[in-house]
Amino acid sequence: MSTEATNITLPRAASLMPMKTFGIDTRFVMPLLITLILLVGQAFYGILESYPHTLTAIGVALFFEIVLSKIDRGTFPFLASAYISGISVGILTRSPFFWTFALCSAITITSKYVLKLKGRHLWNPSNFGVAVMLLIAPSSYSTLSIQWGNNLWAMLVIWALGCIIIYRLKRFHITLTYVLSFLFFGVIRSFWTGDALVAEIAPITGAMYQLFIFFMITDPATTVRRSKGTQMLVVFLVAAAEMVLRMMENVHAPYFALFIVGPIANLVDIYWPKKSEQ
Amino acid sequence: MSWRKICIIIVFCLLLTVPFWISYFSADGGGGMDRNAAMERYGFYFEEVAKKSGVDFVHKAPTLDSKLDNIMPQIASMGAGVSIADFNRDGWSDIYLTNSAEGSLNALYRNNKNGTFTDVASDLGVADVNKDGTGVSMGAVWGDYDNDGFEDLLIYKWGRTALYRNEGGKKFEKVETAGFPEWANVNTGIWFDFDRDGRLDIFLGAYFRPDIDLWHLKDTKIMPESFEYANNGGRNYLLRNTGDGKFEDVTEKMGLKSTRWALAAGAADLTGNGYPDLFIANDYGVSELFLNDDGKRFVDASEASGVGFAPKSGMNASFGDVLSDGRLAIYESNISERGILLQGNNLWVPREGTSGNDVKFDDLANAVGVEDGGWSWGSQFGDFDNDGDQDIFLTNGYVSLDRNANYWYDFSKITIGNNAIIGDAANWPAMNGRSLSGYQQKKVWLNDGKGGFQDAALALGIRETYDGRAVAVADLWNRGVLDVVVANQRGPALVYRNHLEKGRNWIAFELPEDESIGARITIFRDGEKQTQEIQGGSGYCAQNQRRAHFGLGSSGKIEKVEIRTPDGKTRTIESPATNQLHKITG
């Protein structure tokens, strides 16, 4: 998810991306796509806890973005990234309590302003918010995991749409690498656990992963800013960490894998001189 | 570092502490305490007296086709049902418990009127009902289908549902030509007179498809196609009582076509037209509400009413006037496993300003504090402390096996997958003796009368953590208090005797057997009115006593009571005497 855009200067990561996608300002493509998924999903499947819960998440995210931007920079922020963060929290959070939606959004947005090095985010904000909520409020908070439809055609439509857009945004290699890595590790887990291969690869056919692979791991602002090969290596390591967590029977393995690997990769990216700099 | 940055960091740190403070200030009153302390704080406590009172029933689960061995504890996880009846019309509530192992015996505990019970099921012919080839019991409900004044027994099964006619309270005869489905995997059954013709009809809600014989599987593709959107369950049955001892299948004709995974059903007049509407709690999907169009057909109002939009894992359907405003709310149980899946239970309360066929419901479970019940199963409303409002007793727990091994990871792994994967039992990872939401603490939510509930189960003496399924409420010893019976899967039945302090008043009403189910009783007092409807089955695989019991608190007076019998006639009793049971005659 884009997280750093303002109405004054495009962030460095975003500047690496095309300015227009399908004739639309690239910064609006992701907000439009995720809104589309949300509305269609809710209309046909009732995917949300409720509209009020999701609106709470979005509202709090926008509120914190505005307030913190004013405090931190004294400017009114470009709100697309906060909107995506809020809507992501609204979709990913599955809890009956309104306060969990509000708090997750607040932590997500605030983390962008606190957990930075040399102007770079270490964590994907939504991933950070979700993972931290799982750690600090396990009795009140859970994430989208076993919910949503298991309909193959609906999944294929979202995959096709997501792939086209991710391709146009030049992030397809990240998604593809993750999917292939997941399948590879699924085969290993199947051999290791004795469970059916389809059971091991079942998660990636679910809705939660559609959000994870299209929106979270491809976030330009929190992926390493090096060659495609390096980005693919990082996402392979995310899948590897997820494999380890899955072997430890962690239900929220993908969130925690990105939570662990993401900042390490970004730290290396920040402090390890690039060839051109050497 | 600038002061602005420091402010943001402080905010960030404070945000991280929010859950701690919320948890700190919202700790419920469920901590254990001794009986004297419970009596002082809550005015009552429960004592588990099953063994002491002679109820020594232990439920046994079935052993199904070995193709399901990998997840047998999960599949064979239902069948412990309990229903209350006064089968011999001696004025004392008796208890019927269902068993589910092949060849196991169901039990009918006759009330000895001295605090003890005796199992007379074998003597009366309603014990040996789980014979090989006929399927096994999932639950049972009582209703006087032939209007002879004695309640008859309907046993619904994974297999052949059976009806036993009560011969004057002395024995039971199986009704051979009842017109029931040859084979169906039924998990809920209720009696109700949907067309108000004076004869009790039957609704049967099925779980697995009817072509599936769980002991002789053709293949393992028997599971739901989705965890939340499954539509490949068994068909349901609406069986109209034709009056000659037979039942006619009018399911399609009346508009009940769904094939979801029904686990619980209940009928009550939610629109005010005098005809019972039908609520179905479905596993793996949305709930369904069918409004009764004057007995001519049922209209699907699931989405329009608000109860059938967000899919969950419905396992309970019970009705209670939680706000004491004369309107019935629906309590539906679902799954909550902390840190993994928080569906939350639903308390569907009729929205102010809506009525008739336009009735809308809002889920107030979170707002009033009855949402997190763990892996919830059966639940019933009842005024356990006789303080004048409806409390909730909830049982829970799915599969309690190895305390140190958890199946949740594998469960979540498979259930997220697409329908081709989740739908085949062979794909499900083996449970290998692991627990799945096992050993859970039950809930007794006490209504504070101000729109809130507080869990006091532990304090009130509810400490058993078997895999609870069915809950039934009755005044077992005619003392003017509500006792509770809980049927546990692969565990002993529990009888909780209610010890209530003196000075809490009550009133109860009982109608003749042939006018009881569907009767609506409303009491008026202190500007409030409270309503109950007599159920032919409610909760999960359960049925309460047919008495309407109202706690009155310390006031002890009511202005009037209105009693609407199933035929639509209403009678009013002015200033009825309290602290007694009123037997209403036809």
Q: Contacts of residue B429 in chain A, CB cutoff 8 Å?
A: 193, 195-196, 199
Residue of A66, A98, A135, A147 to mutate when probing chain B, most B C-beta within 10 A: A147
Q: Nearest CA of chain B to the CA of A84: how many Å?
A: 20
pLDDT tens digits for chain B (586 residues)?
788 889 999 999 999 999 999 888 776 555 677 888 999 999 999 999 999 999 999 999 999 999 999 999 999 999 999 999 999 999 999 999 999 999 999 999 999 999 999 999 999 999 999 999 999 999 999 999 999 999 999 999 999 999 999 999 999 999 987 789 999 999 999 999 999 999 999 999 999 999 999 999 999 999 999 888 899 999 999 999 999 889 999 999 999 989 999 999 999 999 999 999 999 999 999 999 999 999 999 999 999 999 998 889 999 999 999 999 999 999 999 999 988 888 899 999 999 999 999 999 999 998 999 999 999 999 999 999 999 999 999 999 999 999 999 999 999 999 888 888 899 999 999 999 999 999 999 999 999 999 899 999 999 999 999 999 999 999 999 999 999 999 999 999 999 999 999 999 999 999 998 889 999 999 999 889 999 999 999 999 999 999 999 999 988 789 999 999 999 999 999 999 999 999 998 6
Query: Which residues in chain B are closer than 8 Å to A93, comparing Cβ atoms?
Result: none
Q: Which residues of B touch A208 (CB under 8 A)?
A: 416
Q: Which of B 418-457 lie inside 8 A of A, CB atoms? A: 418-422, 426-430
| B391-396, strands of its sheet edge to edge | B376-382, B391-396, B443-447, B453-455
Partner A contacted by B227 (CB < 8 A)? yes
Contact B8 A137 (CB under 8 A): no
Contact across the interface for A148 and B344, Cβ inside 8 Å: no
| B309 Cα distance to chain centroid | 21
Q: In the 8-state DSSP scheme, what is residue B562?
A: E
- Interface contact B367, partner A, CB < 8 A: no
Cβ <8 Å between B366 and A155:
no
By the 8 A CB rule, do B330 and B305 touch? no
Question: Which of A68, A110, A146 is the closest to B227 by Cβ?
Answer: A146
Nearest to B156 by CA among B446, B543, B499, B449: B543
For residue A114, what are the CA distances in angstroms to A57, A123, A137, B190, B380? Answer: 20, 11, 21, 59, 49
Cα–Cα distances (Å) from B412 to A252, B114, B199, B371, B555, in that order, read 10, 49, 46, 21, 51
The interface predicted TM-score (ipTM) is: 0.84
- Taking alpha carbons only, the member of B63, B78, B195, B192 closest to residue B137 is B78
For residues A37 and A29, give the distance between their C-alpha atoms in angstroms, rounded to a whole number.
Answer: 12
Integer-rounded Cα Rg, in Å, for chain B is: 23
Q: How far is it, in rounded angstroms, from Cα B127 to Cα B121?
A: 5
Q: How far is A48 from chain B (nearest CA, A)?
A: 8
Strand order, beta sheet including B298-300: B261-268, B277-283, B288-292, B298-300
The Cα–Cα gap between B187 and A53 comes to: 33
Per-residue exposure over A225-246, b if at least 16 CB sit within 10 Å of its own CB, e if not:
bbeeebbbebbbbbbebbbebb
Q: Which residues of A touch B12 (CB under 8 A)?
A: 107, 110-111, 113-114
B523 token code pair: 């009491």
Q: Which fold has domain A4-277?
A: Ammonium transporter fold (1.10.3430)
Q: In this structure, what token pair is assigned to residue B389? A: 């409002």
User: Could B412 and A146 be called an inter-chain contact, meaning their C-beta atoms sit closer than 8 Å?
Assistant: yes
- Closest residue in B to A113 (Cα–Cα): B8
| CA distance, residue B391 to nearest chain A CA (Å) | 21
Q: Which chain A residues touch B11 with a CB distance below 8 Å?
A: 110
Chain A hits for B225, Cβ within 8 Å:
150
Q: Name the residue among B20, B225, B412 with its Cβ closest to that of A150.
A: B225
Judging contacts by C-beta atoms under 8 Å, the chain A residues touching residue B71 are: none
Q: What angle do CA A10, A11, A14 make, to 5 degrees?
A: 85
Residue A6 pLDDT: 28
Chain B nearest-CA residue for A251: B409
List the single best residue of B21, B307, B348, B421 to mutate versus A (max A Cβ within 10 A): B421
The pTM of this model reads: 0.92
User: Could you please report the per-residue DSSP string of B136-171?
Assistant: EEEEEEEE-TT-SSS-EEEEEEEE--EEEEEETTTE
Q: Containing H/E element for A197?
A: helix A197-201
pLDDT band at A95 (very low <50, low <70, confident <90, very high): confident
Contact B182, B220 (CB under 8 A): no
* Count, residues in chain A: 278
Instruction: Quote the minimal CA–CA distance from A146 to chain B in Å.
Output: 4
Between CA B469 and CA A229 the distance in angstroms is: 55
**pLDDT recorded at residue A11:** 36
DSSP-assigned beta bridge partners for residue B563: B521, B571
Chain A residue with CA closest to B225: the answer is A150
- A65, closest residue in chain B (CA to CA): B8
How far apart, in Å, are the Cα atoms of B132 and each of B29, B100, B139, B187, B222? 47, 11, 17, 19, 21
Whether residue B416 and residue A136 make contact (CB cut-off 8 A), yes or no, is: no
Q: Residue B8 is nearest to which of A72, A99, A207, comparing CB atoms?
A: A72
Question: What residue segments make up the domains of chain A, in order of their start?
Answer: 4-277
CB nearest A136 (choices: B16, B408, B428): B16
pLDDT band at A17 (very low <50, low <70, confident <90, very high): low
Distance from CA of A57 to the nearest CA of B (A): 15
Q: Of B308, B282, B306, nearest to B230 (Cα)?
A: B282
Chain B residues closer than 8 Å to A113 by CB: 8, 12
How far away is chain A from the Cα of B6, in angstroms, using its nearest Cα?
A: 9
Angle at A50 between CA A48 and CA A51, to 5 degrees: 100
DSSP-derived secondary structure for B37-100: HHHHHHSEEEEE-TTTTT---B-------GGGGGGHHHHT-----EEEE-TT-SSS-EEEE---
Measure Cα distances from B197 to B241, B251, B275, B294 in Å.
9, 17, 11, 11
A71 with B7: Cβ contact below 8 A? yes
Report in angstroms the alpha-carbon separations of B562 from B276, B517, B525.
18, 16, 12
Distance from CA of A213 to the nearest CA of B (A): 15
